[in-house]
Structure 1
């Protein structure tokens, strides 16, 4: 996160993080989310996607930790890979693939609230084993968010 320290405060409209936050240690998550908050403009937003530990936990509770959940371009990914990091990559020396923390939807929401975000909207995709969250620096209602969606998410 030292790299974010070099970014001017209030200089970005949005931050996007796809499958990065689970690689942080738990004590680094608040620092990262506060850095996201700092670099955003007043109407800025963050979009985060990460593994859904609730979905993974349900699979683990069935006793199955090794059967693939899905197959990625790098190969099959099992529940144990989602918990601790992608084992084949780590076996090759890519230890940056290790996972150090994880989230349920409520834990992700709480992490954003503690970092100063005013609104959080998120959803789970249990069949895809992931979470998606959108946090805003300013208070935004669901209706206002829908309007943003009409502007930015209209199919081309």
Structure 2
């Protein structure tokens, strides 16, 4: 089991960073880039040297109600649609009663509007991995797949409504989904004892 990190100033808040990729603390949302948070890196790809190796559909190496927050950036779309409820149930299981999950995924509705104009291969934006096209968003980053990284394939997708519904059906009592600025969706899912002040705290992050 993962043991919470300790500090001479008191226990840190444990952040489970699922699908973490290469270690880049500067790419964490600003709310997690403070001394209060202890990042626990979780990824299916051993090459990125995570703290824990595994699939987000099975977080059995992590104890129940041990994490203060989960950060999931562009991970759920890599699952088959029938696996999404498994992953979300695991998120809820490992979160403390006053924890929360911050999630981002591609916005298929926004991308579809672009696709119908016929601009399938035109870059929509530039990322650290290079230009991102509609094909990359729908099917996975093509350059990474070309280089043999099969973990980058996409197997499902979301609209704001479907993401919110999936989170609610997984037992999160309060969920809010917002449209981002890079053809993405952002969601915050609260546990039963989490203060709604979290929404205000994260308002500047979800964009």
Q: TM-score, normalised by structure 1?
A: 0.87
Once residues 59 and 120 of structure 1 are traced to their aligned partners in structure 2, the CA distance between those partners, rounded to angstroms, is 27
Structure 1 stretches of 4+ moved >4 Å:
149-154
Residues 64 and 93, structure 2, Cα contact 8 Å, conserved in 1:
yes
Residues 109 and 120, structure 1, Cα contact 8 Å, conserved in 2:
yes
| Map of 1:130 onto structure 2 | 184
Task: State how 1:15-94 maps to structure 2 within 5 Å.
Answer: 15-94=70-149
User: What runs of 5+ residues in structure 1 fail to find an aligned partner?
Assistant: none
CA RMSD of aligned residues (A): 2.0
Q: TM-score, normalised by structure 2?
A: 0.67
Higher RCO by CA contacts (8 Å cutoff, separation 6 or greater): 1
User: What runs of 5+ residues in structure 2 fail to find an aligned partner?
Assistant: 1-54
- Deviation digits for residues 5-59 of structure 1 (CA, Å, limit 9, x no counterpart): 1211111111110111111111110000000000111111110011111110110
Residues 176 and 188, structure 2, Cα contact 8 Å, conserved in 1:
yes
| Map of 1:102 onto structure 2 | 157
Once residues 201 and 145 of structure 2 are traced to their aligned partners in structure 1, the CA distance between those partners, rounded to angstroms, is 41
123 and 152 in structure 1: CA distance in 2 versus 1, 3 angstrom threshold: closer
26 and 151 in structure 1: CA distance in 2 versus 1, 3 angstrom threshold: closer
